[in-house]
């Protein structure tokens, strides 16, 4: 019994579509970006908007900003960076810091787990010069961080709490003399 042309065409299309869908699923599942991957645009990290591209990092860094404890996807670690002004130690009583930013960072066990050719290393984010805070339940994790480039400059001195910018009240400023009103002059 011979297949009619329509049935043959429908069967061939079904097989072709099935093969295409299977190949597409395999390709998409294997190439899905993760936290810490290289990126240029936000769409390099996620088409759904679950990750963004941090272009301030070398060759981009797929991440999620404003994470909370244990909320990162891809088993990433939620870290608060810039928790203090450089040179001023973190003070939890003055939180939240005016310079802090929480973000998901890629977990690692050794530097070879990170993008070393792009200038990343596996490190404890709480150590200098990053002085970050892991806010997940497991605070003993390492993450892929960009190796700082101080351009031959001096690394900020940790713990210089005596600097005026570190004080709650700020530096001493002379008062403004408000006793005599200011007079405008016409030119």
Q: What are phi and psi of 128, to 5 degrees?
A: -65, 150
Helix (H) or strand (E) holding 133: strand 133-134
- For the stretch 4-57, pLDDT in tens is 555 544 444 444 444 444 444 434 445 689 999 999 999 999 998 889 999 989
Tokens read off for 114: 């990170």
Least confident of 40-49, 77-86, 99-108: 77-86
Listed in sequence order, the residues at least 6 apart from 155 whose beta carbon sits closer than 8 Å to its beta carbon are: 128, 129, 148
CA angle 37, 40, 46 (to 5 degrees): 60
Look up the pTM and report it: 0.62
pLDDT of residue 158: 45
What is the C-alpha separation between 136 and 143, in angstroms, rounded?
Answer: 13
| Residue 156 neighbours by CB distance under 10 Å | 15
pLDDT category at 132 given cuts 50, 70, 90 is confident
């Amino acid at each position: 019994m011979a297949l009619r042309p329509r049935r043959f065409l429908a069967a061939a299309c079904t097989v072709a579509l099935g093969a295409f869908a299977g190949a597409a699923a395999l390709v998409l599942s294997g190439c899905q970006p993760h936290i810490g991957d290289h990126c240029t645009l936000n769409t390099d990290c996620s088409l759904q908007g679950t990750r963004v591209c941090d272009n301030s990092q070398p060759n981009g860094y797929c991440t999620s900003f404003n994470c909370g404890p244990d909320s990162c996807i891809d088993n990433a670690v939620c870290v608060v960076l810039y928790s203090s002004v450089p040179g001023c130690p973190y003070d939890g009583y003055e939180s939240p810091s005016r310079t802090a930013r929480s973000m998901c960072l890629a977990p690692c066990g050794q530097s070879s787990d990170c993008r070393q050719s792009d200038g990343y290393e596996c490190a404890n984010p709480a150590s200098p010069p990053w002085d970050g805070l892991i806010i997940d339940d497991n605070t003993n994790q390492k993450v892929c961080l960009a190796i700082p480039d101080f351009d031959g400059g001096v690394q900020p001195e940790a713990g210089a709490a005596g600097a005026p910018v570190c004080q709650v009240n700020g530096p001493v400023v002379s008062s403004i003399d408000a006793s005599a009103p200011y007079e405008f002059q016409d030119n």
